[in-house]
Amino acid sequence: MLPALLFAASIGTGYAHPQPTPVAELPASVYQARRARVMDALGGCAAVLSAQGETSGVTEDFRQDADFYWLTGLNEPGAHLLLQPKSPYRKVTLFLQSRDPEAERWTGPREAISPALIARYGVDVVRRGNPAATLASAAAHHDCIAVIAPGTATAEDRADAQLAQRIAGRFGLRTEYKRGLLGELRAAHDEAELARMQRAIAITAAGHETAARATIAGVSERDVQTQLEYSFYAAGATGLSYPSIVGSGPNGAVLHWDQNSRLLQEGDLVVIDAAAEYGRYAADVTRTYPVSGHYTAAQAKVYRAVYQAQEDIFAAIKPGVSMAELQHVAEESLRRTGYLAAFIHGFGHFVGLDVHDGGDMERPIPVGAVFTVEPGVYLPAEGFGVRIEDEVQMTDTGYRLLTRDIPRKLEDVEAWVRRARAPAAGP
C-alpha cells in the first residue's frame, strides 16, 4: 500500500506551480451582436429576461445562468435585461441590483453607474432595480411582448415570463411565445467561443494524461481525482465543468458515481468522467482506464462494442442530422453487439457555457454546434462499466473531432497508459 501511495504522491511533483493569467473577456461588441440577433428574431416585440444564476457556499459564490450570461457577460445576481426593438435610442436596458453598502463590506464594492459602465456592457442604459415600470412604458411603442424565458417543469412560471404576460394583458398587447429562441441561437458557437472550448479541451487532455498515469492499484478514487484536478488547474483551468466522476470496478457501472471513495484494485476498469472549464466554457470527456495496464478479454469485448458505437455515430454525422437520429444510430449499434439493455442514457448532449447546454434534440444540428458522443455499457453484475466520451463540432460538410488528441481506441489507450506510467528517464 505504501509504495502505491508514495507513487501517487510523486505524480504531482512534476508540475510547475500554477500561474494562472486572467482569461481575456469577450468585448462588448460580441454581446451587442448577440442581442441584435435576438431582437431581429422578436418581430418587433419587446422582451424581458431576468438573471437565474445560483449562489452557493458560505462566501455566496454566484454563477450566472447561461442564457443571461450569453446576452450580457454579467455575473451578478438580481439583474434584468429589457429589449425594446422599436425604441430609437433605448433598445437595450440593463437593470442591476440596488447597491447595499453594508452588504458590500462582505462581498466587495460594486461600481457606480457611469458612462464607463454603460460602455463596458455595450448597452444603451444601465439602471438599478426592477424593470416592470420601464416595460410598461415600452408597451406604448410596441404591438407585442415576447416571452423568451425558457419554460419551467413546474406549474409556476418564471417571474420574467409572468411579468411579460402581465404587462401584455394590462395593455392589450399580443403575447408571442419564443421560449426556444435563446437555446436555438446559443447552440451554434462563434470563433471566440470555440477558441475557449478548445482551450478547455486541451487542459482536459493534460488532466486525463495524469489519470492514465495515476490509475494504479492501491490508490483511492479520491487520490486520482485530486491528481487529475491539480493537473487541470496547473494547465490553466478556470474551474471544473462538473464534479469529477472517478468510478473504479463496480462503481464504474454507476453513471454519476460521485463518492470517489473506493481503492483501485488489480483488474479494475476506472471510468473517469472529468473535464476543465476555461473562461466559463465547458469541456466534457470520459475515458475508461485499465488499472493493470491492459483490458481483460471480457472488458475488451465491451470496450470494442462501445468504441464501435462511437464510430457508427461519427459516420452518421452530416448536415441535416438531428440528435434524435444519432440516438437511434447509437441504439442500433449496441443492439447489434448485444448491449442495448446496458445502455441507459442518451448518446450525447450539446456543450457550451454549460456542460449540458441549450439546443433542440429534434431539429437538425446547426453548423458550429458542439456536442458529445458518449455511448456507454454498464454491467454491475460483472463489476465494471465502459464509457467513451468525445466532443465534436458540426461543420457544413460533417464534423470535426475536437478531442482527437486524447486516445480512445483500445490499443491506443493501453499504449498511452504504458507511456504515462513508464519511469522518467534519468539525467
* Angle between helices 2-11 and 191-214 in degrees, nearest 10: 150
Is 393 within 8 Å of 283 (Cβ atoms)? no
pLDDT at 188: 95
pLDDT at 199: 97
DSSP run (H or E) holding 376: strand 376-379
Q: Please give the Cα distance from 13 to 161 (Å, whole number).
A: 53
Q: Please give the Cα distance from 328 to 307 (Å, whole number).
A: 16
Q: Where are the domains of the chain?
A: 2-11+189-421, 43-177
Which of 209, 208, 206, 211 minimizes the C-alpha distance to 236?
A: 206
Which of 418, 376, 197, 196 minimizes the C-alpha distance to 287?
A: 376
Residue ranges in the chain modelled with pLDDT below 70: 1-20, 57, 59-60, 153, 155, 424-427
The share of the chain scoring above pLDDT 90, in percent, equals 84
What's the topology of domain 43-177?
Creatine Amidinohydrolase; Chain A, domain 1 (3.40.350)
pLDDT at 156: 76
Half-sphere exposure (Cβ direction) of 255: Cα atoms closer than 13 Å? 10
What's the topology of domain 2-11+189-421?
Creatine Amidinohydrolase (3.90.230)
pLDDT, one tens digit per residue, over 372-399 is 999 999 999 999 999 999 999 999 999 9
pLDDT at 14: 52
Class of residue 30 by CB neighbours under 10 A (exposed 0-12, middle 13-18, buried 19+): middle
pLDDT at 23: 81
Which of 92, 104, 103 minimizes the C-alpha distance to 131?
A: 92
The share of the chain scoring above pLDDT 70, in percent, equals 93
Q: Please give the Cα distance from 165 to 167 (Å, whole number).
A: 6
